[in-house]
Each structure stands twice: as C-alpha cells, then as structure tokens.
Amino acid sequence: MTGMRVLGPTVDDQTRCIHYRTELDVIAIRFACCGEYYPCHLCHAEAADHPAEQWPLDRRDERAVLCGVCEHELTVAEYLGVDACPACGAAFNPGCKLHTELYFEV
C-alpha cells in the first residue's frame, strides 16, 4: 500500500497484522472514535490512547473500510453487504463478520 496510513502492528502492505494475517485478512477499519485506520480491534486497543467506539447506525454511509489490496474505501453499508472488494474483487475474511459489533452498531 502506498497512500493510506494504517496504524498498529501491520505485517505487510495489505493491512494484515500480527493478530489476523491469513490470505483473506486484507481490510483495515477507520475507527469512529479517532478517524484512523487500524487492521483490527486488537491493534486499536494496543496502539491507541483511547477506547474504541462503534460506527453508529446513522453513519453507515461513511467510508470506513479500506481494502488493503487496492486501497478502495468502502462505506460501512457497502462493506457489510459484500464478501469481496467491489473494486478489485479481493476476497474478504468471512470470519470478520463475527466481530461486526466491535466496529459497527448492529
């Protein structure tokens, strides 16, 4: 990745981190509390100086998910409705859906 800054302990340039680094772990989330991109909730907890906040339901039209393969930014609503990047087709980890409530109000 060249343009977007992703904070936390990333292990490659496609936003994989020390916590989640499978072939499908290629997104970063812009946290509602600080507006910064982190690969996961654990990275935010370790690196940020404040608690994480969920994206509220009424802000689902904001770009908050970054594809680590092509740097396309998805809105919250768009991300929640797909299994792959709409711009480049890179598959996203379906296991991320298990953590939806950590990032987004449901």
Residue 16 sits at the vertex; the CA angle it makes with 29 and 65, to the nearest 5 degrees, is 20
The pTM for the full model equals 0.93
**Contact at 8 Å (CB) between 7 and 80?**
no
Residues paired with 42 in a beta bridge: none
pLDDT tens for 32-78 read 999 999 999 999 999 999 999 999 999 999 999 999 999 999 999 99
Domain ranges of the chain: 27-103
State pLDDT tens for residues 81-93: 999 999 999 999 9
Distance of CA 91 to the CA centre of its chain: 13
Nearest to 66, CA basis, from 14, 29, 100 = 29
